[in-house]
Amino acid sequence: MIGDTGRNSSPSLHARLKNYRQLISRVDELCQGIEKQFHSAIACSDGCDGCCRHLSLFPVEGIALAAALRDLPPAERRHLQERARTTLPTDPCPLLGQHHCLMYQARPLICRTHGLPLLMNRDGERRVDYCPLNFRGLTTLPGAAVIHLDRLNETLVAVNLRFMSDSAATSPWPERLTVAQALLLKMPHP
């Protein structure tokens, strides 16, 4: 079993996830602003699932996903856990059902930024990447409409390290876990 999340310790799980949830809130705000400003240039919409691959997550993301799963009705929870048991790493995301995320509100950080302009450094070169279906015909984007991926990843790493430090007494965590592994974590009821 990955991570023993069943032991009681201080701080609470809610407190340990606070930084992650704040990061998610800020990223959602940024993404919503970009989507609002460039609504007509973004093809991504409900039912678009071309980016929905089976990803690996930091422990803080996996625990947040497992905590959200714990709060679902039992039949939904069992359905998703069964999907997780049978999903291979090369399969689409186990949260994908009929072209929709079955846990959209709890989706990981990377899923929240898919398709939007991401500034990244690759081999010493800065470039902006986004879904090829989006921003067609645009030759430039303002800096405020571009998500600095390296900075976002650095922040997520820091949030994850803090989470792992706060959770050290309760759990030995792997460096990464898949979405399926996160869905199969044993979470205590609050």
Per-domain residue ranges for the chain? Answer: 13-183
**How much is the CA Rg of the chain, to the nearest whole Å?**
17
- Rounded to whole angstroms, the Cα distance separating 120 from 148 reads 7
- Confidence (pTM): 0.87
Question: Among 107-111, 133-137, 172-176, which is the least confidently predicted range?
Answer: 172-176
* Structure tokens that stand for 145 in this block: 């409409």
Nearest to 60 by CA among 92, 28, 108: 108
Determine the residue type at 179.
V
Closest CA relative to residue 106, chosen from 147, 62, 149: 62
Distance CA 159, CA 54 (A): 22
Q: 142 versus 70: which is more confidently predicted?
A: 70
Share the mean pLDDT of the chain: 88
Q: What is the model's pLDDT at position 52?
A: 86
Contact criterion met (CB below 8 Å) for 183 and 87: no
Cα torsion angle, 51, 75, 171, 16, sign: positive
Q: What does the pLDDT look like over 64-90, one tens digit per residue?
A: 999 999 999 999 999 999 999 999 888
Integer Cα distance of 189 and 70 in angstroms: 7
Is the predicted pLDDT of residue 168 greater than 80, yes or no?
Answer: no
More confident residue, 95 or 45: 95
- Say which range, 16-25, 35-44, 177-186, has the weakest mean pLDDT: 35-44
